[in-house]
Amino acid sequence: MVSFMRMDSSTLHADFAAALSGVCQVIDWDYGEVWLPNLEINLLELSPVWHGHPNRSSDRLEDLRKFRACSEKFALSIDEGLPGRIWRSRQPEWINDVSMQSESYFLRNQIAKAFSIKAGFGFPAFCEQEIIGIFVFFTDCACEKNTDLIERAIAAATLSIS
């Protein structure tokens, strides 16, 4: 798993941004975001840091911006949605096509349908055994779980923050 050495919020956001960019470039996926645990209220909140792959068309990038804007309204409890399940399990998770899942399984499925979001996966980021973020990535085509891609994503995130 990705392990961060520091938890200073100013440098952490920069590290998250670098990791999202690095992963999207390496795996050639459209979009990455980070969910942050708010332990005071026991919810995951969407970080202000996100990444849209710069090699996508302007129309695609606009759809990703809209997907992001709609996602900002969500806060997730443990075991709720893809990030919440990762928070609980402390393990990566993959969904072949988020737009085909029920809203109880993938809360943003209607938003995913509206903006052509399909496959998604995520993994936790740690600082000393504590989860400090959940990285989540999406692309515009459905695809079967790819363990090699997940491992490359984790390696790219780790390299980006080293």
User: What is the band of 158 on the pLDDT scale with cuts at 50, 70, 90?
Assistant: confident
- E strand or H helix that includes residue 16: helix 9-27
Residue 140 has pLDDT above 70, yes or no: yes
User: What is the band of 146 on the pLDDT scale with cuts at 50, 70, 90?
Assistant: very high
Give the 3-state secondary structure of residue 40. Answer: coil
pLDDT of residue 127: 83
Residue 147 has pLDDT above 70, yes or no: yes
Residue 138 has pLDDT above 90, yes or no: yes
pLDDT of residue 103: 93
The DSSP-derived string for 74-128 is -EE-TTSHHHHHHHHH-S-EEES-GGGS-TTTSTTHHHHHHTT---EEEEEEEET
pLDDT in tens, 89-133: 999 999 999 999 999 999 999 999 999 999 999 999 988 889 999
pLDDT of residue 92: 98
Average pLDDT in the chain: 93
CATH 3.40.50.10490 at 2-161, yes or no? no
Measured distance CA(69)–CA(31) in Å, rounded: 13
Q: Enumerate the domain spans of the chain.
A: 2-161
Give the 3-state secondary structure of residue 114. Answer: helix
Measured distance CA(156)–CA(2) in Å, rounded: 9
Residue 13 has pLDDT above 90, yes or no: no
pLDDT in tens, 54-98: 999 999 999 999 999 999 999 999 999 999 999 999 999 999 999
Q: How many CB atoms lie within 10 A of CB 89?
A: 12
